Structure 1
Amino acid sequence: MEGLRSEKHSSCKYVRSGLALLLQLGTATKIVCYFTNGSQYRPGIASYMPENVDPCLCTHIIYAFAGKANNQITTIEWNDEVLYAGINGLRN
């Protein structure tokens, strides 16, 4: 799977180079992508998982939602830890 990820996002280096150029020109833009843990339950092609997020398009990714119990952040969905790890894995 690691080889597939590298192959799938091999064009990221060009996007990142372009982004670096924009930063140098002072015209950088923040593109925030918002991923909800409930999107996995949409039917058919509307279902959305971390592997569907193109990290080349987002400068920031927000993962929603989390819970709170006993003053601690908790998971809501049964697989939140796996989905969150998938979103964090997009940074590589």
Structure 2
Amino acid sequence: MSPKHSHRFVENYDGMVAFGFSRDVDEKSLMVYLQKFSDDGLLNILVPRLSDREMAELFDMLSHILRKHLTDKEYHTHFLKEEV
């Protein structure tokens, strides 16, 4: 069975990583940061060091963004990886 999740963008992107340069570079830089942030090795180090408040804030912020910008079907298909 092939994995449901992928992080190919960060592996293939060879452009500038900066913020505030242009919308296009900002979007690509954010994608790089998010994919690097969600790396299993980094999360195994970082998450145990977060306070309860930091974990709640991060969870709430991500949940808010998902609810605001994805339809219910997109959330289930692309985030939860469910067959709808």
Q: Which bracket does the TM-score occupy, shorter chain normalised?
A: 0.3 to 0.5
Greater share of strand:
1
- Which one has the bigger helix percentage? 2
Q: Which structure carries more relative contact order (alpha carbon 8 Å, separation 6+)?
A: 1
TM-score by length of 1: 0.30
Larger Cα Rg: Structure 1 or Structure 2?
1
Q: What TM-score results when the alignment is normalised by the length of structure 2?
A: 0.32
